[in-house]
Structure 1
Amino acid sequence: MTGFLINVLMLGIGATAFMDIIALLQRRLFGTPSLNYAMVGRWLGHLSRGVFIHRPIGKSRPVRGEAALGWGAHYLIGVALAAVFLALAGADWLSRPTIMPALAFGVATVLIPFLVLQPGLGAGVAARKTPEPNTARLRSLLAHCSFGAGLWVTGLGGMLVLQGRGLL
């Protein structure tokens, strides 16, 4: 069980960091805006007060520590998703990480922002209430594809480290 938890932490943190690096590169190279995790923290902070949907979140009252809360949740969700992925793919996936299951899982996880986060932030289901819903949807899809790619890259890196130490 300890090995599974270590693998989940490694995959979740690594895949989420990979996703963030891709978002940073997109922002720096192309000016593509990315999700403001402080708004995720604000949304989470208001959940404890029974408020799920905001119209929009930017007009809702700020929550103390919302940026830290949002970023922390972002990484915890990444770890939780890695646990689901590893449970579905099987622990042996780490001994031979393949890209297709990881990418398919990343694509499937786009349902979370489409059905939970975007409606909660006031953007509607699948960002339908945004000025450019198809652009928002594509950005979400690319972000979650990068999470899937991050699972694969992190799995490869972990495999190479373990092989180098004679543990695989």
Structure 2
Amino acid sequence: MTSLLIDALLLGAGATAFMDIVALVQNRLFGIPSLNYAMVGRWLGHLLGGTFTHRPIGKSRPIRGEAALGWIAHYLIGVAFAAMFLVLVGAGWLSRPALVPALVFGVMTVLVPFLVLQPGMGAGIVARKLPEPNAARLRSLFAHFSFGLGLWITGLGSMLVL
């Protein structure tokens, strides 16, 4: 169990960091906005107080430390996803990281923002209430694709270290 937790921590943090680097490059090169993790922290802060849905989250009362809360949650979710991935594919995946399972899993994780985060933040299911829902959907899908790619790249990196 300890090995799974350590593997998930390293794999999830690496994949999430890769996802963030891709988002930064997209923003710098193409002006594509990425998710404001302070709003995730605001949503979580209000969620702990019993409020799930906002109309939209940007108009809700700020939460003290929301940016830090959002970023910490972002990485913890990445670690949780990595743990789920390792349970599904087996810990042996780390000794021979395969690209396809990592990409498929990464793309599947987009269901969480589509069905939980976006509705909770006031964007509706699969971002249907946003002014440009298809653009938001593609950004989310690409972010989670890059998380899957990050799983694979981090897995390859772990082979070099182990």
| Class of the TM-score when normalised by the shorter of the 2 chains | over 0.9
Match of 1:166 in 2: none
* Distance (Å, rounded) in 2 between the aligned partners of 1:92 and 1:47: 37
Q: CA deviation at 1:22?
A: 0.2
* Distance (Å, rounded) in 1 between the aligned partners of 2:5 and 2:56: 37
- Is 1:128 the equivalent of 2:125? no
Q: CA deviation at 1:18?
A: 0.3
* Distance (Å, rounded) in 1 between the aligned partners of 2:42 and 2:5: 29
* Distance (Å, rounded) in 1 between the aligned partners of 2:75 and 2:32: 21
Match of 1:160 in 2: 160
* Distance (Å, rounded) in 1 between the aligned partners of 2:84 and 2:40: 22
Match of 2:106 in 1: 106
What is the aligned-residue RMSD (CA, Å)? 0.5
* Distance (Å, rounded) in 2 between the aligned partners of 1:161 and 1:50: 44
* Distance (Å, rounded) in 2 between the aligned partners of 1:108 and 1:138: 14
What's the secondary structure of 2:80's corresponding residue?
helix
Q: What is the correspondence of 1:52-131 to structure 2 with a 5 Å cutoff?
A: 52-131=52-131
* Distance (Å, rounded) in 2 between the aligned partners of 1:117 and 1:66: 15
| Higher radius of gyration, 1 or 2 | 1
TM-score, with structure 1 as normaliser = 0.95
Specify every segment of 5 or more residues in structure 2 that has no aligned partner in the other structure, as ranges. Answer: none
Q: CA deviation at 1:3?
A: 1.7
TM-score, with structure 2 as normaliser = 0.99
Q: CA deviation at 1:95?
A: 0.4
* Distance (Å, rounded) in 2 between the aligned partners of 1:137 and 1:48: 27
Match of 1:38 in 2: 38
Letter in 2 for 1:56: P
Q: CA deviation at 1:161?
A: 1.1
Letter in 1 for 2:79: V
Matched-pair identity in %:
77
Deviations 1:23-61 (A, max 9, x none): 000000000000000000000000121110000000000
How many aligned residue pairs are there? 162
* Distance (Å, rounded) in 1 between the aligned partners of 2:52 and 2:3: 36
Q: CA deviation at 1:2?
A: 2.0
Deviations 1:72-130 (A, max 9, x none): 00000000000000000100000000100000000100000000000000000000000
Specify every segment of 5 or more residues in structure 1 that has no aligned partner in the other structure, as ranges. Answer: 163-168
Match of 1:12 in 2: 12
Q: CA deviation at 1:136?
A: 0.3
Q: CA deviation at 1:5?
A: 1.4
